[in-house]
Amino acid sequence: MLNWSKQFSIFCLLDNHQYQIEPHTVECMLAAGSKRSITGSDMNSLDRLQQFINKKKSWLFGHLNYDLKNEIGLLTSSHTDHLGFPELFFFEPEYLVRLGNDTIVIDADNPYQVYHDILESTPAEADFTKSITDTNSRLSKDDYIETVRKLQQHILRGDCYEINFCQEFFSSDALVDPLVMYEKLSIVSPNPFSALYKLNDKYLICASPERFIKKDGAHILSQPIKGTAKRSSGQREEDELSRKNLYHSQKDRSENVMVVDLVRNDLSKVCKEGTVHVDELYGVYSFPQVYQMISTISGDLNDDISFTDIIRATFPMGSMTGAPKRNVLQLIEKYERSKRGIFSGALGYITPEQDFDFNVVIRSIMYNESNRYLSYQVGSGITFYSEPESEWEECRLKAAAIDKVLRSN
C-alpha cells in the first residue's frame, strides 16, 4: 500500500499495528489522492472547515495544528515555522483502502483495479537516506532544567497547576526517504495511533500511542496519557516492578488526575449534563519502550453539536497543555523555543456520518522535503513536585525510538 501511495502528492496512512485498545475500529486505512480539500491558516479556518464538512457527506482525512489555539483562544505565536504545515488541512480522498482483521474494503471508481495495482506494486528504489547523527537542540540540558524551575515558580504562585513543556531536536540538512523512515519507526516502535501523512512536500512520520478524541454517534470519548515509565529489557520481574511503580506513583497520578479533570471540563461544554464520566482512571498500558498511564473520559453530546464546536471546546488537548488551559498556553509560548506546528496537534478522519477519530501527534518525526528540515519534539508534564533532572530523562526516553531510527543506516 505504501509503495503504491508514493505516486500521490497527498495521502494519509493510519495504522493500529494490531493493538486492541478499546474502542477499536479499523485496523489500517489509507486515503490517497484528493478530490477536494480545504486549507486553513487564518482566524476563521474552523468556520470554513465546518462549511466544507456540511457541503457533502464524504470521508475526510487531515490534521489540526497545535497553533490553531490562536484562533480558538485569540492568542498569538511568534516562533519561526521551519516546517510549513498549515493550521488545518482536510481532503476527500480519491481512493480509500480499509483493512480489517479479515476484510479489505476499497472505495474507488474501479476497486478491483486498485486492488490489483496495490498487489503488483513493487518497492521503488529508496531515495538516498543518510543516518542523522548531528541533530541539534533548541535547549541545552542546563537551560531545560533552569526553565523547569522557572515553571515551578509559576505553579507556586498559582499561575497554573501543571504544564506540558516541550523541546525540539532538529536537523537543517536532512536527506531522508519518509517511507523508509516510517517502516523503520514501525519496527522499533509500533503504536496504536501510528501514521504516515504526506501533504505535498511535508511529511508526518508518527508513532503515537495516544488517542485525542473519538465520536461514535452521540457518544464521545477522550483518552489522555499522563505518566511514563521505562520498560526493562532484562528480567521480567524488573519490568513488572516498573509497571507497578508507575501505577502507584503519586507524582504520575497527580498529573493524570489533573488532566482528567481538565478533559471532563472540556467535554462538559458540549455534552449533556450529568453524562460526562471517567470510564477508566490510571490504566497502565504496555508499549515497546515504555509503560503509559491512560485514563478514559466519555460523555453524550448535546443535540446539534458540530465537529468544530467539539474542537473549539477541547483543542488543544489537555495532555499536551496543562491546567488551567489558557494560562498554560501563554506560558508555553513564553518558555518554549520552537513553534509546535503539527506536533501536539491531531491527525485523523471524519466519516460521512460525521463520526471521527483523532490521535495526538507525539513520538513523531516531521520533515519538509523542500528545505530538508527535519524535526522532532518531546515533552513532559511539569508539576510542583517534578524533579527537573527526571523530566529531562523522561524526554530522552520518549525520544529513544526516534533517535535509534535516525542513527540507523
> Mean pLDDT per 10-residue run, the chain (409 residues)?
95 92 87 98 94 97 97 93 97 96 93 96 66 82 96 96 94 92 93 97 97 98 94 84 94 92 97 98 92 97 97 97 95 96 98 97 97 95 92 90 85
In a domain, 313, yes or no: yes
What pLDDT shows up at residue 133? 64
Instruction: Dig out the grid coordinates for 34 from the structure.
Output: 484528493
Query: Alpha-carbon distance 326 to 336, whole Å?
Result: 16
In a domain, 369, yes or no: yes
What pLDDT shows up at residue 56? 95
Please tell me the total number of residues recorded for the chain in this structure. 409
Instruction: Dig out the grid coordinates for 96 from the structure.
Output: 480509500
Backbone angles phi, psi at 348, to 5 degrees: 175, -150
What pLDDT shows up at residue 227? 92
Alpha-carbon distances of 406 from 100, 105, 201, rounded to whole Å: 31, 34, 19
In a domain, 258, yes or no: no
Range of the domain at 152: 2-218+302-406
Report DSSP letters for 213-226, one per residue.
Answer: EEEETTEEEEE-EE
Residue 85 CA to chain centroid, in angstroms?
14
CB count in 10 Å sphere of residue 159: 15
Alpha-carbon distances of 409 from 45, 47, 126, 249, 400, rounded to whole Å: 41, 45, 12, 38, 16
- CA neighbours closer than 13 Å in the CB half-sphere of residue 331: 27
In a domain, 268, yes or no: no
Here the CATH number for the domain that contains residue 13 is: 3.60.120.10
What pLDDT shows up at residue 24? 82
Say how many domains are in the chain: 1
Alpha-carbon distances of 153 from 195, 234, 291, 335, rounded to whole Å: 37, 39, 29, 13
Q: At which residue does the C-alpha cell 490504566 appear?
A: 283
Residue 66's closest CA among 358, 397, 267, 307?
A: 358
In a domain, 382, yes or no: yes
**R_g over Cα of the chain:** 20
- E strand residue ranges, 19-129: 28-32, 36-40, 60-64, 88-92, 95-99, 104-107
In a domain, 233, yes or no: no
In a domain, 374, yes or no: yes
In a domain, 184, yes or no: yes
Beta bridge partners of 166: 379
45-55 vs 307-314: helix crossing angle, rounded to 10: 150
What pLDDT shows up at residue 203? 98
What pLDDT shows up at residue 128? 54
Residue 193's closest CA among 210, 213, 177?
A: 210
pTM of the model: 0.95
